[in-house]
Amino acid sequence: MRRWESYFWPLVALVAVLILWRQGVIYSGTKVFPSPFEVQRGLAELIRKGLLWGYIGDSLFRVGSGYTLAIALGIPTGIILGWYPNASSALNPVIQLMRPISPLAWIPLSIVWFGVSNFAAIFLIFMASFFPVVVATMNGVHNVPPMMRNAGVNFGLSPAALFRRVIFPAALPQVLVGLRIALGISWLVVVAAEMIAVDSGLGYLIIDSRNAGKRYDLVIAGMLLIGGIGLCLDLSIRRVELLKSVRWGFRNE
């Protein structure tokens, strides 16, 4: 595919979807579903009222805090579990039990503990991203080929140096996969968290627009913003995977 084509066809598809959307709204005569232009006007209104950037900032702040906290605690936990087989065989059943629990199931408890506040949303995002980070790090450390471990030991590395120079870099690609999954889930969860636990942010925008006047143009605008920002987050974390010191771990090139 030539360079211009890799931009051209996606653009064509996007325009086609917008046209279909608009014609669909016109032909069906729906009173509920807004057309692209109404959504665009809704967005402009949000900017004019000075709400948009605040909402985006609030959502990103919650994701950023909960996610950072999950990384700060999850990576060390994963390392310990991956490094000490006894720790992992003791704790792994608990982790595997907690992992399939939807982060949203924590909503009632988060409100009991933190009230309607930022902390409740941050807690939910933490719960959403902690387990993927722990499990990926644990597996990454656990799966370091014995050959590499042996090579490190053979050259006389102390346990700390072995960890820093062999185990961690060898596990890093898998850790990054966990970070990316966790970021994706966090962005999904923040919407739900903001619908219930706080009164700002993009999730709040969606639920409030519906509750306070059935403004479906703003609902769709909020959804599109969530999609766009989520895409940007994923693209930026994918850039990290291109660094030469981790690229070897990714087969997708």
Partner 1 sequence: MAQTATTAPERAVEAAKISVRGVSKIFKRDGKEVNVLDNINLEARKGEFVCILGPSGCGKSTLLNIAGGFLKATTGSITIDGEEVNGPDPRRIFVFQERGVFPWMTVEGNIGFGLFKLPKEERRHRIAHYVKLVGLEGFEQAYPQELSGGMKQRVEVARALAVNPDVLYLDEPFGALDSITRLIMRSELLRMWEAERKTILFVTHDIEESVQLADRVVVMSTRPATIRRIVEIDIPHPRDISSPRYLELRDSIFEEIGLAHKV
The tokens for 157 are 């590395």
The nearer residue to partner 1, 29 or 156, going by C-beta atoms, is 156
In the complex, the smallest distance separating the C-beta of residue 170 from partner 1, rounded to whole angstroms, is 7
The nearer residue to partner 1, 48 or 251, going by C-beta atoms, is 251
C-alpha 65/C-alpha 57 separation (Å) is: 12
Cβ contacts of residue 253 below 8 Å, gap of 6+? 247
The nearer residue to partner 1, 31 or 244, going by C-beta atoms, is 244
Contact yes or no for 179/173 (Cβ under 8 A): no
C-alpha 101/C-alpha 99 separation (Å) is: 5
In the complex, the smallest distance separating the C-beta of residue 156 from partner 1, rounded to whole angstroms, is 4
The nearer residue to partner 1, 142 or 165, going by C-beta atoms, is 165
Cβ contacts of residue 167 below 8 Å, gap of 6+? 83, 141, 144, 149, 152
Using CB under 8 A as the binding rule, whether residue 184 contacts partner 1 is answered as no
- Binding string, residues 130-159; x marks residues near partner 1 by CB under 8 A: ---------------x-xx-xx-xxxxx--
**Which window, 21-29, 106-114, 160-168, 225-233, contacts partner 1 (CB under 8 A)?**
160-168
- Phi, psi of 76, deg, nearest 5: -60, -40
C-alpha 144/C-alpha 169 separation (Å) is: 9
Cβ contacts of residue 133 below 8 Å, gap of 6+? 70, 71, 74, 75, 78, 175, 178, 179, 182
**Which window, 52-60, 94-102, 207-215, 240-248, contacts partner 1 (CB under 8 A)?**
240-248
| Choice from 46, 121, 122, 172 touching partner 1 (CB under 8 A) | 172
In the complex, the smallest distance separating the C-beta of residue 9 from partner 1, rounded to whole angstroms, is 30
The nearer residue to partner 1, 6 or 154, going by C-beta atoms, is 154
Q: Which residues bind partner 1 (CB under 8 A)?
A: 145, 147-148, 150-151, 153-157, 161, 165-166, 169-170, 172, 244-249
